[in-house]
Structure 1
């Protein structure tokens, strides 16, 4: 296991975990766009749980690579879905946000 892999994975897990926390506390910078995109409030907790599980899986993946690979892949798919949601809502300037969170996860998968 290389140092760059550990560092990038830690950064990815932190960013995805922060994103999950932002959903759980219904931070305005998350709640307002989710409402604008038409995401039902009943989904918000589950979306946060999915992100939190992805972040935890990335950390566990430092010791159990198969879990890290599964968590990373699922997290990238999650953020791909977020990109689709943003595009469907025609909120094009916001497309960068899910891509920003997905990028370190993709980097961690590449370095694995």
Structure 2
């Protein structure tokens, strides 16, 4: 994600790779540190029902969410994707917020939460 995101400094911070300088290429040690914290790499550990909410114009998540959904499917984890093709990472359009509110409440109710 570091190489394709609009927020590489956030990736470095969240991966505890504070020695990474903005604009510099990853070395193998830093790359492995980031990979080890990736939700994709750890997706096989997910057991709980999973609700994933994605905006189609999000520059951060869409390149990765399909791999996560595939892993959830292969591992037979109950999951649902709410995909909003015209929304971005914030998912802050009124229609999207309303749809998400209703669908997430139904999701939690269906799973006894």
> Normalized against structure 2, the TM-score is what?
0.29
Structure with more helix by fraction: 1
Please say which structure displays the higher CA radius of gyration. Answer: 2
> Normalized against structure 1, the TM-score is what?
0.29
Structure with more strand by fraction: 2
